[in-house]
Amino acid sequence: MLTLNLDKETGLTTPEIPIEPAATIILVKDDIGGPKVLMQQRNPEAVFVGGAWVFPGGKLDKEDYDRHWETLCPVNTAKADRLLQVERQAYAFWVGAIRELVEEAGILLATDSEKFTGPEQALAAQTFLAARPDQFLQYCQANELTLDSRKLKYLSRWITPVGNPKRYDTRFFLAPWPEGQEPKQDGIEAINTCWVSPEDALAHHKKGEWVLVLPTVMTLQQLCGFTDRATLLKNNGQSL
């Protein structure tokens, strides 16, 4: 797995800005011409990378660490801790990635069950979290939902360099798109949404049409050259 602390790349020292844990998720789907990934343009007024095209994601919430997620977000906790090189509660990164996807794109990765109604419930969850952003656990408990965490593959780790107004220790995950759930941007953090091939996203950036930050550029480069989603997912990331 790629781990890159951009401070070390620049040789700069770290100021007194807290580095917050965060998670990003890259959804992949098959399409004519090859696999595409879900990308969103951040609000230009955002303090952090405003106007840039990114994958859905954001900082972890305190609630993401709740012990009840060990049941509702089933991962091998010991293996997850080792994979992410944290002392405990690495499952919070899986929770955060899935939650952010709901908030920003209206897509919910939940296991198939009588309680999960697919697209309708995903949008209902997005609406719920817009009003109660700290109650994702309560929503899943009330609706008897289990997160489909086993679909996520851990891809990489990026630490925001010195000089930014906010700094994050971000874990990137890959996951297959749940068919039938079309993305719906929240209109607050994300103002545009599209499915795009990694090659086309990089071409937009090269032409000056899209702003991309370094972690996004390098991730897109890593995902280029695959003929279908299955091959892309097979050759990238690590499952628990």
What lies within 8 Å, CB to CB, of 224 at 6+ separation is: 198, 199, 202
- In the chain, pLDDT over 70 holds for what percent of residues? 94
Whether 240 is in a domain gets the answer no
What is the residue range of 144's domain?
A: 2-234
Q: Which residues pair with residue 4 across a beta bridge? A: 158
Residue 139: which pLDDT band, with cuts at 50, 70 and 90? Answer: very high
Q: What is the pLDDT of residue 50?
A: 79
In the chain, the amino acid numbered 63 is E
Residue 177: which pLDDT band, with cuts at 50, 70 and 90? Answer: very high
Whether 67 is in a domain gets the answer yes
Entry pTM: 0.91
* Interval 74-131: pLDDT, tens: 999 999 999 999 999 999 999 999 999 999 999 999 997 777 888 999 999 999 999 9
Q: What is the pLDDT of residue 14?
A: 47
Residue 54: which pLDDT band, with cuts at 50, 70 and 90? Answer: very high
26: left (phi over 0), alpha (psi -120 to 50) or beta: beta
Domain count, the chain: 1
Residue 8: which pLDDT band, with cuts at 50, 70 and 90? Answer: low
**Residue 3, pLDDT above cutoff 80:** no
CATH number for 227: 3.90.79.10
Whether 59 is in a domain gets the answer yes
Residue 161: which pLDDT band, with cuts at 50, 70 and 90? Answer: confident
* Interval 182-214: pLDDT, tens: 999 998 889 999 999 999 999 999 999 999 999
Whether 239 is in a domain gets the answer no
**Average pLDDT of the chain to the nearest whole number:** 92
